[in-house]
Amino acid sequence: MSLIEVKNLTKEFPLGFLGRIKLKAVDNVSFELDESKLISVIGESGSGKTTIGKLILRLLKPTGGQIIFNGKDIKSFKPKDYYRNVQGIFQDPYSSFNPVYKIDRIFELVFDEFMPQLHRNQRQKEIEEILISVGMNPSQILGKYPHQLSGGQLQRILIARTLLLKPKVLIADEIISMLDASTRVDILGFLGELKQKGMSVIFITHDLSFGYYISDETIILYKGSIMEMGDTIKVFHNPMHPYTRMLLESVPSIEKKWDLEKFFVPEIVHKEISGCKFYERCSEATDECKRQVPQLVEIEENHRVACIKSDVSVRTEWKNFESSRKSDSVG
């Protein structure tokens, strides 16, 4: 049984006068998260990835569908029982700390809410141990205000806070996008460690390379719908959806030179489309795409694509890669 199961999740935001216009931020999304797995949710801004994170953290109420944790709907849990098991870290480390309090408060809150009986000395000891475990010097951190520390340090403190609770699931929402390149890998390393300790992580990002670097499974989101999902290696080495391919081609590489022709990005018009959501930007779209809503279809084991043209046979380069990978693992 999977740890978290997201079933037909939909979230609409009301817009306009008395909410007459609805914006579908998340549209019929389903996926599962197994124990000690790292799954990355990748999408551009406005694709609904943060909304999914907030829905799982119960910071927003879904319009439709449900989220199941440990076999029970998350609505049925008491807040504290749920948050003991499911935790989150957010994008902006500077805004995650209340500027009027010292750093220590972030730990004190956790103790007050989840372990109120713990004695003061014991608390202090645990805080220090945990800060050391994320590679920080407690005497340099404690008693300081958030603005006196760097983004990387703050993000590490948030990881330390999560370690204090030892949840089963961690929602990491763009946790590295505000950091410099040198601290990023560092933070990602901690995520990897958490996974090895048996924690499941939902890693929300817009950065394909970091997603590839760290995750077991990948979900590609576009305008609130899943375009392609499955095993990370399969999604990245055998991308079947035109959007995934476009994203992969847009990753800067040392071996490639800038080629403007490849990117076809028309002005995005927010209107209700009856067919495929990617129709307007797709270079391979036909008239049928305009009419038919593509369903997620399993094209190989643990690899699903929502494109009506995805039944095209698996590409030969992928077959070669796959067979070489198998022979590697056999050898």
* Binding positions for another protein, rule: CB under 8 A: 54, 57, 59, 79-80, 83, 86-88, 90-92, 95-101, 106, 109-110, 113-114, 158
Cα separations in angstroms, 293 against 48, 228, 309: 19, 14, 12
**Please, what is the minimum distance in Å from the beta carbon of residue 96 to another protein?**
4
Residue closer to another protein by CB (options 95, 283) is 95
Q: Which two tokens stand for residue 322?
A: 């796959």
**To the nearest whole angstrom, how small is the minimum distance from the Cβ of residue 160 to another protein?**
13
The nearest distance, CB 187 to another protein, in angstroms, is 16
Residue partners of 59: CB distance under 8 A and separation at least 6: none
Distance CA 203, CA 174 (A): 7
- Using an 8 Å Cβ cutoff, are 85 and 136 in contact? no
In whole angstroms, the minimum distance from the beta carbon of 173 to another protein comes to: 9
In angstroms, give the least distance from the CB of 45 to another protein.
Answer: 16
Backbone angles phi, psi at 219, to 5 degrees: -125, 125
In angstroms, how far is CA 140 from the centroid of its own chain? 31
**Cβ proximity to another protein, 21 vs 59, nearer residue:** 59
**Minimum CB distance to another protein smaller for 28 or for 70:** 70
Rounded Cα distance between 199 and 324, Å, is 31
Nearer to another protein, 88 or 152 (CB): 88
Q: How far apart are CA 241 and CA 49, in angstroms?
A: 18
Q: 170 or 299, CB closer to another protein?
A: 170
